[in-house]
């Protein structure tokens, strides 16, 4: 049995509340639990160990059932991939870029790197992704008004 250490990509609010707890409530309200039965069911920690005959497929299955993907395949956000991606940027992993609407999750550099890795972003392109996130979080951009 193989295993992967992956970053838990879900975010938290400045208060420490997990975004997925709010999403779980919305899923239940809308009757969508059959689509994402594991919404809100994840380890409340920074990393998770995923084991299986094919851990990449298992990460894809778990993340889909938790509502963390749109159903398309993802690249597992392993610690090695996250470190490689962060090395191409100029900010430390725990730096907060701001709060993301509509749920007010705190966008840290590490969480942005996890999203970039999952989407297949090459490490060399990560500075562009960071710049884009910083731009949309600038109050002058008015993300809520877009």
pLDDT digits (tens, 9 = 90+) for 57-95: 999 999 999 989 998 999 999 999 999 999 998 999 999
Counting residues of the chain whose pLDDT is more than 70, the rounded percentage is 100
| Residue 46: exposure state from Cβ atoms within 10 A (0-12, 13-18, ≥19) | exposed
Do the beta carbons of residue 63 and residue 114 sit within 8 Å? Answer: no
What are the boundaries of each domain within the chain?
Answer: 2-145
Query: Is the pLDDT assigned to residue 123 strictly greater than 80?
Result: yes
């Amino acid at each position: 049995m193989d295993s992967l250490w992956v970053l838990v990509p879900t975010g938290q609010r400045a208060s420490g509340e997990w975004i997925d707890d709010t999403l779980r409530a919305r899923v239940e309200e809308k009757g969508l639990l059959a689509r994402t039965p594991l919404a809100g069911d994840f380890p409340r920690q920074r990393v998770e160990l995923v084991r299986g005959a094919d851990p990449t497929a298992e990460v894809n299955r778990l993340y889909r059932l938790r509502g963390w993907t749109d159903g398309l395949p993802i690249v597992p956000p392993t610690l090695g991939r996250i470190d490689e991606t962060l090395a191409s940027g100029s900010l430390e992993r725990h730096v907060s870029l701001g709060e993301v609407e509509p749920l007010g999750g705190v966008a840290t550099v590490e969480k942005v790197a996890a999203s970039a890795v999952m989407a297949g972003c090459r490490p060399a392109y990560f500075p562009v992704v960071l710049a884009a996130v910083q731009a949309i979080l600038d109050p002058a951009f008015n993300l809520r008004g877009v």
